Structure 1
Amino acid sequence: MATLSVAAILAENARRRPDRTALVEGDLRLTFAEAWRRSLAQAGALTALGVRPGDRVALMAPNTAEFPLAYYAAMAVGGVVVPVHLLLSATEVQHVLKDSGAGLLLAHPAQEATARAAAEPLGIRVVVLGEELDKLAVDAEPPHSYVTRSADDPAVVFYTSGTTGVPKGAVLSHFNIVMNATVNAFDANDIRPDDIVLGALPLFHAFGQTVSLNSTWRAGATLVLMPRFDAARAIEIMVAERVNTFHGVPTMFVSLAAVAAGAAALPELRLCISGGASLPVAVLERFESAFGAQICEGYGLSETSPAATVNQPVFGTRAGTIGHPLWGVDAEIAQADVEDRVELLPAGELGEVVIRGHNVFSGYLGRPEATAEALVDGWFRTGDLGTKDEDGFLRIVDRKKDVIIRGGYNVYPREVEEVLARHPEIAQVAVIGLPDELHGEEICAVVVPAPGATPDAAAITGWSKEHLGKHKYPRRVEFTDELPLGPSMKVLKRELRARYTAR
């Protein structure tokens, strides 16, 4: 039986490069040796609390040092980490705890109230990270090393954002996570041990956890944590810490490009990775001209560990695409409306993106029917529509369920968003379909105006008429100060549909 543990990522660095800086958060600096020593001490505390291999440990913390240390402590005792989104209400946290079967909740002091409200009615113990866990660690015996697991044993259960209703737990194995971190570190992009990475993506989310935390440490590089993203502050931190790598979602790149001109100095960025949602080409161009750094857009889902494809130097990069599959991963386009089997389509055809490889999850916890719907013929069905060109570049067109059907014509919101993103008075835009008696659905653009601009709805409709086909331009334009974002920073279109349908 092959054994493997995510804990090895930190343990091996402590052995190979003990004195290298692993983690920076504010004034705190830890070498790999110190970080592993602290994680092992916490692992001793978890054992004293009764955590055994296979037990589920929920973790609720922002991007402070407490998160990675507790994460690797739980891995070291063979526990299964259940990261909890920080934006959830106590009722939603309770669902995650109950559904995952967690026996312990580790919570940051800032989350303690919500954690207790969720856990105590279920009889689940809450231990507060920092003082309380550190005291337990002092009194406990740290293990000599980590508990090894079977490679296919569960390591993490990610609760999907619940875009389709009740959040489901996607189970990822040690093999899934170690392989995804390894391939990201050594094959996908040019990552080097002396890189310094800004960790601004939430670590409780798959993108931040795999790409920022695990891949950075797999490469032996330094992670600089930022507990709460603010663009101007991010630039200051990146300059002060000589950060050369930034991972972000499109909303972060929008904000950084907007404040770059007013910054005293800009960081010298070598590599930027975008994921989590589609990056409009106009945003990519604005950011690249402001920072003089290239963005490599990628794609993935909680169910794919998460990285599945990315623009990679080996294949060349192409703006507006999500690049090529990672090493050892296949991504193809299949018939979207054939549910019971996977029928692959030739290059250039539009269909559903399907993925297979070492990154595909074990299934949804306790939901065999949902697992059987998602895993078909050895492929994971993503629910995203896309194309693959003759050169193998993949492009996401839209979510299957976000397609607008207006007067019998399919309209892909992303295509409309790409055009509107180039309007000088628009900072951000989300396009949705609203019920319409005549056409079935009408196209509505929800716009966040650019700073200082006061755009006119009729003028935007007129402008888009010149740039989009007759069936595609938005007949309705609504203005808002900000778009509703889910825990993974994706725009919550279901919320927008509910809000503007009600009007």
Structure 2
Amino acid sequence: MHPRKPKGMPTSLDYPQDATIGDILAGSARRYPRRVALRDGEDTLTYAELHDRAHRVAQGLRAHGIAPGDVVALHQPNSLWFTVTYYGVLLAGATVTPVNPALPPAALREQLAEVATRAVLTHPATEPALRAAGTDGLVLVAAVPPTRAAPAPAGADGPPPGTTPFEDLLTAPDTPLPAVSPEALAHLSFTGGTTGRSKAVMVRHRHVVANVVQFTCWRTGALPARDEHGGVHLEAVPSARTATMTGPGSGTGIAVAPLFHAMGLISQTNNVLAGQTAILTGGRFDPVRYLSLVAERHVTHVTGSPALLHALIAASDGRCYPEVVTVNSGAAPIDTTTSAALARLFPNASVVEGYGLTEATMGLVTGLVDPEDPVPVGSAGLPVFDTEIEIRDPVDTGRVLPAGETGELWARGPQVTSGYLGHPELTAQQYVDGWLRTGDLAHQDERGHVFIVGRAKDMLIYKGYNVYPGRLEELLAAHPDVDQVSVIGAPSPSVGEIPVAYVVPRPSAVPGPDLARRLMDHVAERVAPYQKVREIHFVGDLPTSAAGKILKTELRRLHRSGDAA
């Protein structure tokens, strides 16, 4: 099988050797110095200004005792200062550990200790949780300034007491910064915790550079190059350009994904390498305000999880936004009903799905940005450049399954990371002979398109038959009375496990026994008898992670407790 690639592009890329994440920022700062890189309300930073502020933060960290290899936590909501401090930490030769700003103090304390954090760059709104978690052993705590996207809490007056003024970092003496190796740890990124306790993944500079180059070249029709100072930038390939691509140095997107999560974290550098403008929104997601920004700022790229896209569809009131050329989605597959609604909302856009995980830096698979050659509905796309995908038997892991058969997805490529910090046994289980065992069930068609079925742990066994929740979710999502749905396996003494659906009904639907029976009949008419949904529970919303992934662990807990509400 030879999976397809974007037209006009090579099958393999020439990655910039010895490049670091800082080289990508430096390359764009020289190539697009006056282009707006970040917009946060009325505050903006051009690419030259972003590089300058990051350089100053790096010098400030060095002046306050942060050495190469030290771990610096970013404990902030989304704002332009998150991006500035992210690059500042990396330019100082230190390692970023992004932490969820909503973590309670006990969980925050545990994560900071697990990676031996030396400094924390926080925010006035999140600093109280950090104080409650404890700051013993830290050499520096500084709070970034409030912005429109991330305002100060009510009643706050100036930076939190006991923190180093952020201005001190920006005004430190101008001294040379250390050389950074591509092998240096760039991130200690915690997994999403959708299947249990979060773990810190070791992500090196070379992993990030490779994954950023893979995705950005794929989606812009360009190839990586180096300038005379070693900076990394893109050179367009005219023959690869499609109607829904924006080339290097153009395009505007809204950065709504949490920046502490792999998708948001890596997307920062995707935007930088592409020379795009990122609009920061921060705070609580408001679909009406989001669509207003799309119109006001001439947004060309929309990115989000299916839950976010559902909210946009519901808030659109029949309007459409023709300037959007690409809709990128991750976290879960888009069903056919949602795809049709997105085509009406963004009539000139390619809807591009993707698949990845923190252990692969960010991404492994994505769709073609080509309206004339779309991937099949339900597919996450194709393996990106220099990425191998195998579908293996979940039990006999040495047996590769043929096209069409469902098994466990294994991956190999330059973006696959170095394992889990402090967990050698778990690393050995998931990283085998250069391959990453993802734990996700999938199948491929004859052309290489990847279809994600669900987590291997989500598969249930009914009377000895394998039942995949993803197929049942797709069928239920197509019903006109269903807004969102998730299917889990529930223990049953007589048959092993039964499929149980948790459904968010549409506002026009009346939840109750009659609707539940109609939905179960809707599925039963389309599947084998052993695949039928046996129970349906109606809920107001589905529990999701910060990245928009549905937390089936929480649904299983609710089912065990009998508290479906």
TM-score w.r.t. the length of structure 2 is 0.84
> Are positions 1:117 and 2:132 aligned together?
yes
Deviation at 1:299, TM superposition (A): 0.5
Cα displacement (A) at 1:345: 2.2
Which residue identity does 2:123 align to in structure 1?
H
Shift of residue 64, structure 1, vs aligned partner: 0.8
Q: Are 1:463 and 2:518 an aligned pair? A: no
Quick check: which one's helix share is greater? Answer: 1
- Spell out the pairing of 1:103-142 with structure 2 (5 A cutoff): 103-120=118-135, 125-130=140-145, 132-142=164-174
Cα distance in structure 2, aligned partners of 1:94 and 1:307: 29
Provide the rounded CA distance (Å) in 1 between the counterparts of 2:175 and 2:438.
40
Paired residues for 1:76-115 under 5 Å: 76-115=91-130
In structure 1, the partner of 2:240 is: none
Matched, 1:320 2:378: yes
Structure 1 Cα separation of the partners of residues 318 and 449 of structure 2: 36
**Aligned to 2:340, which of 256, 271, 285?**
285
Answering whether residue 384 of structure 2 is matched by residue 329 of structure 1, we say no
Query: What is the DSSP-based 3-state SS (H/G/I as helix, E as strand, rest coil) of the residue aligned with 1:127?
Result: strand
| 1:460 CA drift (Å) | 2.0
TM-superposed deviation, 1:194: 0.9
Offset at 1:328? 1.3
CA distance in structure 1 between the aligned counterparts of 2:18 and 2:368, rounded to whole angstroms? 30
Could you tell me which residue of structure 1 aligns to residue 405 of structure 2? 349
Distance in structure 2 (CA, Å) of the matches to 1:10 and 1:282:
39
Q: What is residue 366 of structure 1 aligned with on the other side?
A: 422
| Contact 2:142/2:166 (8 A) holds in 1 | no
State the distance in 2 between where 1:403 and 1:382 align.
Answer: 14
Q: Distance in 1 between matches of 2:414 and 2:352?
A: 22
Q: Which piece of structure 1 moves more, 358-367 or 40-49?
A: 40-49
Tell whether the 8 Å contact from 1:65 to 1:225 is kept in structure 2 after alignment: yes
Quote the offset at 1:148 in angstroms. Answer: 2.8
Q: Distance in 2 between matches of 1:188 and 1:294?
A: 11
Answer whether contact 2:350 2:369 (CA < 8 A) is retained. no
Residue pair 2:331, 2:355 contacting (<8 A) in 1 also: yes
Deviation per CA, 1:440-496: give whole Å up to 9, x if none.
212111011112322322232233222333222222111111111112221110111
SS in 2 for 1:369: helix
2:266 matches 1:210: yes
Q: Deviations over 1:162-184 (max 9, x none)?
A: 23432111111101111111221
Measure how far apart 1:262 and its partner are. 5.6
Determine which of 252, 276, 285 is the counterpart of 1:221.
Answer: 276
Look up the equivalent residue of 1:349 and give its one-letter code: E
TM superposition shift of 1:47: 1.0
Q: Which deviates the most, 315-324 or 369-378?
A: 315-324
**Matched-pair contact (CA < 8 Å) for 2:490–2:500:** yes
Name the counterpart of 1:50.
Answer: 65
Distance 2:439 2:560 in 1: 24
The 5-angstrom pairing of residues 135-284 of structure 1 reads 135-143=167-175, 146-189=177-220, 190-192=245-247, 193-211=249-267, 213-228=268-283, 229-261=285-317, 266=321, 268-284=323-339
Q: Distance in 2 between matches of 1:244 and 1:187?
A: 17
State the Cα distance separating 1:329 from its structure 2 match: 1.1
> How far apart are the structure 1 equivalents of 2:45 and 2:322?
23
How do residues 16-31 of structure 1 correspond to structure 2 at under 5 angstroms?
Answer: 16-31=31-46
Deviation at 1:122, TM superposition (A): 5.7
| More divergent stretch after superposition (350-359 vs 111-120) | 111-120
After the TM superposition, which parts of structure 1 deviate over 6 Å for at least 4 consecutive aligned residues?
Answer: none
After superposition, what is the alpha-carbon deviation per residue over 1:320-374, rounded to whole angstroms, capped at 9, x for unaligned?
Answer: 11111111111121121135xx432222222111111111001111111111111
The offset of 1:216, in angstroms, is 1.0
CA deviation vs aligned residue, 1:63-89 (integer Å, no higher than 9, x gap): 211110000110110110000013322
Q: Which runs of 5+ in 2 are unaligned?
A: 1-16, 146-158, 221-244
> What amino acid is the match of 2:342?
F
Question: Percent identity at matched positions?
Answer: 34
Q: Residues 9 and 217 of structure 1 are in contact (CA less than 8 Å); yes or no, is this contact kept in structure 2?
A: yes
* Kept in 1: contact 2:318–2:345 (CA 8 A): no
Cα distance between partner residues in 2 of 1:283 and 1:405 = 29
Distance 2:87 2:447 in 1: 40
Alpha-carbon distance in structure 1 between the residues aligned to 2:352 and 2:492: 39
Tell me, in whole angstroms, the C-alpha distance in 1 between the residues paired with 2:292 and 2:101.
25
CA distance in 1 between partners of 2:202 and 2:28 (Å) = 26
Cα contact 1:198–1:243 (8 A) shared by 2: yes
Aligned residues: 497
How far off its partner does 1:238 sit?
Answer: 1.3
CA distance in 2, matches of 1:366, 1:441: 35
Task: Return the alpha-carbon distance in structure 2 between the equivalents of residues 142 and 60 of structure 1.
Answer: 26
How big is the shift at 1:147? 3.3
TM-superposed deviation, 1:255: 0.8
**Is the contact between residue 143 and residue 166 of structure 2 (CA under 8 Å) also seen in structure 1?**
no
The equivalent residue for 1:416 is 472
- Check the 8 A contact 1:5/1:75 in 2, yes or no: no
1:8 to partner: Cα distance: 1.9
Question: Is residue 472 from structure 1 mapped to residue 531 from structure 2 by the alignment?
Answer: yes
Letter in 1 for 2:26: A
Alignment match, 2:546: 487
Name the CA distance, whole Å, in 2 between partners of 1:108 and 1:250.
Answer: 29
The aligned counterpart of 1:399 is: 455
CA contact (8 A) 1:61 1:111 kept: yes
* Alpha carbons 1:385, 1:396 under 8 Å: kept: yes
User: CA offsets per residue over residues 124-149 of structure 1, 9 Å max, x none?
Assistant: 643211255432124412445x5332
Structure 1 runs not aligned, ≥5 long: none
User: Offset at 1:376?
Assistant: 1.1
Q: Is contact 2:352–2:369 with CA below 8 Å preserved after alignment?
A: no
Q: Work out which of the residue numbers 350, 353, 356 in structure 2 matches 1:300.
A: 356
> Residue 72 in 1 paired to residue 63 in 2?
no
Q: What residue is the counterpart of 2:237 in the other structure?
A: none
- Once residues 433 and 444 of structure 1 are traced to their aligned partners in structure 2, the CA distance between those partners, rounded to angstroms, is 6
Equivalent of residue 425 in structure 1, options 478, 481, 486: 481
Partner of 1:450: 506
Distance in 2 separating the partners of 1:282 and 1:376? 38
Asked if 1:11 corresponds to 2:26, the answer is: yes
TM (norm. structure 1) is: 0.95
Deviation at 1:117, TM superposition (A): 1.6
Structure showing greater relative contact order (alpha-carbon pairs closer than 8 Å, 6 or more residues apart):
2
